[in-house]
């Protein structure tokens, strides 16, 4: 489902955060590697796991600027598995899940 070794970094604006079981989804508007702006759907782990690993409760909010490193979807569409998130306040979260290759 996700590229096992490839990583891309997106700089964008949060449009929505869905904090639901079984996985959290972060929706952002960001520019891709071709310079095209589009909507991205980014998947994280379960809410309890993310909180235990240090995800700041209540962050990010719609309109916040974020920088996200992801493992992109194999299909090549605008989506991926969250690896790191740098929030508007400069704090960084690293997701320690999603497979052995990290």
Domains of the chain from N-terminus onward: 8-94 (2.40.50.140)
Predicted local distance difference test score (pLDDT) of residue 34? 85
Please state whether the peptide bond connecting residue 60 to the residue before it is cis, i.e. omega within 30 degrees of 0.
yes
- Rounded CA-CA distance 27/40 in Å is 6
Along the 102 residues of the chain, how does pLDDT read in single tens digits? 999 999 999 999 999 999 999 999 999 999 987 889 999 999 999 999 999 999 998 899 999 999 999 999 999 899 999 999 999 999 999 998 766 444
Q: What is the pTM of this model?
A: 0.92
């Amino acid at each position: 489902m996700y590229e096992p070794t490839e990583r891309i970094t997106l700089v964008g604006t949060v449009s929505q955060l869905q904090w639901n079981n079984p996985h959290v989804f972060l929706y952002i508007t960001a520019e891709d590697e071709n310079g095209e702006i589009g909507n991205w759907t980014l998947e994280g782990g379960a809410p309890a796991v993310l909180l235990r690993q240090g995800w700041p409760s209540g962050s990010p909010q719609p309109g916040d600027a974020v920088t996200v490193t992801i493992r992109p979807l194999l299909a090549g569409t605008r989506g991926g598995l969250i690896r790191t998130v740098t929030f508007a306040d400069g704090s960084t979260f690293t997701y320690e899940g999603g497979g052995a290759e990290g």
